[in-house]
A and B are shown apart, each in its own frame.
Chain A
Amino acid sequence: MRPTQAVLKSARSAWKGPYFIPFPNLRDSLANNEPIYTQARACTILPNFVGVKFMVHNGKDFLPVSVTQDMVGHKLGEFSFTKKRFTFKATKK
């Protein structure tokens, strides 16, 4: 029966609001269709991010994430995978 859970759908308290990073070049990148390179995986996707292309760091390189309406409220890091499935390498001959 905590109202904060219903408001934010997260464990973070309501008075803090969502955690996000202000991207100063957000409007330019939306107009020019240029991706924003970022390492802020914990940044919450806000409604004004919709349509922007991000390149989100996964610890090794930047993976493309294009934000849609349904992604609002999730974090940027949820869409940039950090793990690779194990596959056997073909032996050289």
Chain B
Amino acid sequence: MVHILGINLPNGALVRLALTNIYGVGHHTARRLCARLQVHDQCKVSDLSPFQITSLASFLSSPATAPPLPRFPLAKPDYVPPPPSVSAKSLIDAFMEHRKTKALKNPDPLKNLKIESELRREIRENIAHQRMIGSYVGRRHAMHLPVRGQNTQSNAKTAKKLNRLGRY
């Protein structure tokens, strides 16, 4: 049994499935997290190394301030290496200059990850915003009824359970 941020990850479960126990982490985000920690697809929670567990906990505690991953761009197939007479320093300078001008194509997908209490707070604030400006959405939340035009003659059980102003 591994505890991360007060959440149990059962030992026998696959890591990518166990991570979905965290509120705000689904299958897609769990796979991204595994890729970041270099955890393979069939790895179980019991197989995680202590370093991986601590790095996972430290990343999840503050995803926004986590250090960026190192990037090692691969050479294109048609790459022609410069002649050996060029000094290494000028090559590094040119590379750094190139990096500055080119915008990063794939930004970190987990940069804006919000989990657990932070995500719950965001949802609560969004509902409170709708209620404060007096829109139809806020009114439906206050009435514990579906927001997006669903039928209410029968059912609507999930909305009656969840749609309230102080949801969490």
Contact = CB atoms under 8 A, between A and B. Distances in A.
Interface of A: 1, 68, 70-71, 74, 78-79, 81
Interface of B: 109, 129, 132-137, 139
A15 B106 CA distance: 21
Q: Is the interface of B mostly helix, strand, loop or mixed?
A: helix
B109 A78 contact: no
Contacts of B136: 78-79, 81
B114 to A, nearest CB: 14
Nearest to A71: B133
Nearest to B143: A85
A78 B133 CA distance: 10
Contacts of A68: 133
A1 B133 CA distance: 29
Contacts of A1: 109
A79 B135 contact: yes
A9 B135 CA distance: 16
Contact of B129 (A70, A78, A81): A70
A87 to B, nearest CB: 14
A29 B135 CA distance: 23
B132 A70 contact: yes
B128 to A, nearest CB: 11
A6 to B, nearest CB: 9
Contacts of B137: 78
B139 A81 contact: yes
Contacts of B129: 70
A41 to B, nearest CB: 11
Given A70-B129, A74-B135, A78-B136, 12 more contacts: A1-B109, A68-B133, A70-B132, A70-B133, A71-B133, A71-B135, A74-B133, A78-B135, A78-B137, A79-B134, A79-B135, A81-B136
